[in-house]
A and B are shown apart, each in its own frame.
Chain A
Amino acid sequence: MPPQGKPFFIAGRLIIQMDEDARLIRRYADGDDLAVEELVMKYQKRIYALAYRMTGNVEDSKDVTQKAFLQAFRNIRGFRMNSAFYTWLYRIAVNTCLNHMRKKDPATVEINESLCAVKGSTLSAMIDREEKFHLQKALMQLPERQKTAVILRAYEGLSVRETSEVMQCTEGAVKAHYHNGMKRIRTILRERGYGFES
């Protein structure tokens, strides 16, 4: 492991400051396979959560999580170190999710209609399973770009800039997708009888 703060090269690029992720990537590039495990361990829950928001299905999320990590390590040379590793990893995970959902037959998407009974409630009190189901269903009804922006911003807490890096679009486009997505979710939930209270 290189000493902290000492400049060094990775793939011909001068790295002056290196965070923990970059050090792990360097270890992997140097042939240390344990670095793979450490990186997976660090991000697996976040990638799984992202995949679950995108697919709405546990089994698909598990598949996508594994595929996303494999894609990332297969293309690790494509990581240019000019952005954070996790935004790069998120981008791969989002693309893997979208490809997975496009390939999947829409008829196989699981929807448990028994949970769709309309109930009056406040969003701040949406903690039980049924209410979560409606929120997840509303999310699943969004167009791809809106859904991605809402998931990255609202659920994952990424900034506008980070989200624009993941989605590879302008910050303005991220704001537009996010606000349109949130507006649509509110509309869908209102139609299902949920109100809003702070």
Chain B
Amino acid sequence: MSHDEIKDRLPGYRGKASMPEDVSEHLDTCPECSEEFSLLASMRNDHPPEPDGMFFETLPQRVSALVQEKKKKKFFGVIPRFALVAMLVAALTAGYIYNIMKMPGADELYAFSDPFSDGDYDLGALTPDDVPSIAGDPDLEEAGVYPDEDSFLRDLASLSPGEIDRLYEKLRIKGGNGGVL
């Protein structure tokens, strides 16, 4: 073994008895390695002072207790987060259900009375020419629904824009041009 190899291995030997013969012989002839080995021996004899009290007797239990405490904290630390998320989800769900219950139905939303839906008229069969004839129908005049042509027109004029649009739509579906409109 070379000088450098022996020097690298010196910390591994506890005494001359534990080292191979060639290393021991090298130490006898090499002051540098001999000094190093002497210094290492001094270092190994320098034991740290014993800690006071029951340090070594109690450390295992203390570490174990602190490790368990950390585990518990970790577990319980998660619970408030779960609770917060659960509360948030519950509040959102309740709000959503409340809004659905409060929302008006389709009947309520489109609550307007169609003047034609109350009678026996088949609106699907109407043609553009039918509208004036309805207006001038003597039976209707007799029944007091439209006593004159003006009353029909007034009724028509009283319709809201939405109602007129729907009436127009019904007439248009049948391929007409909207009748009198």
* Minimum Cβ distance to chain A for residue B82 (Å): 22
Is there a chain A Cβ closer than 8 Å to B12's Cβ?
yes
Q: Interface extent on A, as a size class? A: 35 or more
- The reply to whether B62 and A66 contact each other, CB–CB distance below 8 Å, is yes
Which one of B39-47, B135-143, B145-153, B169-177 is at the A interface?
Answer: B39-47
- The reply to whether A153 and B46 contact each other, CB–CB distance below 8 Å, is no
Alpha-carbon gap, A198 to B34, bound state (A): 6
Determine chain B's interface SS by DSSP, over half rule: helix
Alpha-carbon gap, A33 to B69, bound state (A): 11
- The reply to whether B43 and A44 contact each other, CB–CB distance below 8 Å, is no
Alpha-carbon gap, A131 to B42, bound state (A): 10
> Do A65 and B35 contact each other (CB < 8 Å), given the known contacts A52-B49, A126-B42, A136-B46?
no
Q: Which residues of B contact A185 (CB under 8 A)?
A: 39
Alpha-carbon gap, A124 to B150, bound state (A): 132
- The reply to whether B59 and A175 contact each other, CB–CB distance below 8 Å, is no
Mark out the residues of chain B between 72 and 107 whose CB falls within 8 Å of any chain A CB in the assembled complex.
none
- The reply to whether B48 and A48 contact each other, CB–CB distance below 8 Å, is yes
Give which listed residue, A45, A132, A160, A197, contacts B46 with CB less than 8 A: A132
List B residues at the A interface (Cβ < 8 Å): 7-8, 11-12, 27, 34-49, 51-52, 55-56, 59-64, 66-68, 70
List A residues at the B interface (Cβ < 8 Å): 33-34, 36-38, 40-41, 44-45, 48-49, 52-53, 58, 61-62, 65-66, 69-70, 73-74, 122-124, 126-127, 131-132, 135-136, 153-155, 157, 159-160, 175, 178-179, 182, 185-186, 189, 196-198
